[in-house]
């Protein structure tokens, strides 16, 4: 499954550390726990799947999940 959008894409901090715990877009505002993508990855891997996130060259971003 791929989810593709045409928004601004992921901030650089998310692309560098996207599945690392306690990394969040909200690092800039000191809000949030930064667990969302790390937990999602664990759940997907528990079902022998993979997840990738990327910004698109034409703008927006793609999240791909395969199981």
Report field, pTM of the whole predicted structure over 0.85: no
Assigned CATH class of 2-66: alpha beta
Tens-digit pLDDT profile for the chain (67 aa)?
999 999 999 888 778 777 777 665 555 445 665 667 788 889 999 999 999 999 999 999 999 999 8
* Residue 56 contacts residue 9 (beta carbons within 8 Å): yes
Name the token pair of 44.
């997907």
Backbone torsion region of residue 29, taken as left when φ is above 0, otherwise alpha when ψ lies between -120 and 50, otherwise beta: alpha
For residue 6, the tally of other CB atoms under 10 A from its CB is 10
Provide the residue ranges of all domains of the chain, joining segments of one domain with +.
Answer: 2-66
């Amino acid at each position: 499954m791929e989810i593709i959008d045409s928004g601004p894409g992921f901030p650089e901090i998310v692309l560098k550390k996207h599945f690392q715990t306690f990394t969040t877009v909200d690092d800039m505002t000191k809000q949030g726990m930064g667990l969302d993508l790390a937990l999602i990855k664990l759940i997907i891997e528990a079902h022998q799947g993979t997840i990738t996130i990327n910004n698109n060259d034409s703008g927006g971003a793609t999240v791909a999940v395969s199981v």
